[in-house]
Amino acid sequence: MKSMDEARERTQGLYNICVTPFSEDGTLKKAALEANLERVIGLGFDGILIGGTYGEFPAMSTEERATLFRAAVEVVGDRVPLLLCSAAADPRAAVELTQLAADLGGLPMVTAPYVSEITDAQIVSYFKEIAKVSRTGIMIYNAPGIGITLSAPLIEELSDIEGMIALKQGDLSPTVVDRLVGRLKGKLKMLAASDLAMLGPIMTGFDGLSSTNSCALPEIIHGTYKAVLEGDVGRATSLNQLWYPVREACRAYGQPQTTKAMMALRGWDGGVVRAPLRSLSRAQHESLAETLRQVAANTDERLLKLAA
């Protein structure tokens, strides 16, 4: 993407939140990254998110994140739009990564700096400054998981800053979603940040969805989203209910470690997680495997086929 206008036009639809496949020694497994990206592109996903919270960016150095950006762009090119998470607690790192993300043709995705007792006014000032370095604009990343939840009024204020073109919204409570759609639809492109509660925001009027579990269940997630777009509410709700046991496991065991474990059960290489995260215990892994077998037994083999 070369401009804000192009980024605004293309930021919509179903995005895969790509896990970062680390080897046991902590290095990036580039072949696994390529295979995982090609899989979701081949299935028809509209875009890809690289290096987000479930991509474990807080456990990576600025240099490693830059390497990940370049590796993803090398594989994807301009076939689908890329969201490149450039968030950082240190504004210097955020500026460096934001400029790189834009220069590579991606849309930088930026959180508020996750430092204690930051004020709304300071957050607004921060976004005004960081917007200046991106030729493709900025996606506001409202990520409660970092310890700061942007309120709906603050998001509305941020939307007035030149260069703010999109929002990845992690607070998906119904009243907040309703307000954001009602007040910002057409002004910001809005993506629901989680597939754990995907149907409500999409049916309310969000422009798209970002999904971590699509790394492991891409056919089911894609099928659900496609059914929503086609107006087949019955099929969408049936597919969404089908993988509810997986969502329970994700909430119990955490992500992305649960997602990476499911990828392994399907014969795909998601790598391992980095500290401070830990891979699933043997008991958790066995329970997850049984959950996935039960889900597979209740669906068409085309939607979920486990590794032998």
Spans of all domains in the chain: 4-230
For residue 258, give the 3-state DSSP assignment: helix
Q: What is the pLDDT of residue 300?
A: 75
Neighbouring residues of 251: CB distance < 8 A, sequence distance ≥ 6: 196
Burial of 158 from C-beta contacts in 10 A (0-12 / 13-18 / 19+): buried
Where on the phi/psi map is residue 63: left (φ > 0), alpha (ψ -120 to 50), or beta?
alpha
- Tokens 């400029």 — which residue? 99
From the candidates 15, 141, 225, 253, which is the catalytic residue?
141
Q: CA nearest 186: which of 149, 159, 155, 157?
A: 159
Q: Biggest alpha carbon distance in the chain? A: 55
Choose the CATH number for 4-230 among 3.20.20.70, 3.40.50.300, 3.30.1330.10, 3.30.930.10.
3.20.20.70
Q: State yes or no: is 141 an active-site residue.
A: yes
Burial of 103 from C-beta contacts in 10 A (0-12 / 13-18 / 19+): middle
From the candidates 15, 54, 126, 168, which is the catalytic residue?
168
Q: What is the pLDDT of residue 48?
A: 98
Dihedrals phi, psi of 186, to nearest 5 degrees: 95, -20
Q: State yes or no: is 132 an active-site residue.
A: no
Q: What is the pLDDT of residue 308?
A: 56
Residues composing the chain: 308
Q: CA 9, CA 268: separation in Å to the nearest integer?
A: 32
**Sequence-distant contacts of 185-194: CB under 8 A, at least 24 apart:** 187/159, 188/140, 188/159, 188/164, 189/8, 189/11, 189/12, 189/165, 190/166, 191/11, 191/12, 191/15, 191/139, 191/166, 191/167, 193/141, 193/142, 193/143, 193/168, 193/169, 194/170
Dihedrals phi, psi of 259, to nearest 5 degrees: -60, -45
Q: What is the pLDDT of residue 302?
A: 65
Q: What is the pLDDT along the chain (308 residues), one digit of tens a residue?
A: 999 999 999 999 999 999 999 999 999 999 999 999 999 999 999 999 999 999 999 999 999 999 999 999 999 999 999 999 999 999 999 999 999 999 999 999 999 998 888 999 999 999 999 999 999 999 999 999 888 999 999 999 999 999 999 999 999 999 999 999 999 999 999 999 999 888 999 999 999 999 999 999 999 999 999 999 999 999 999 999 999 999 999 999 999 999 999 999 999 999 999 999 999 999 999 999 999 999 998 887 667 777 65
- First and final C-alpha spacing in the chain: 40
Burial of 307 from C-beta contacts in 10 A (0-12 / 13-18 / 19+): exposed
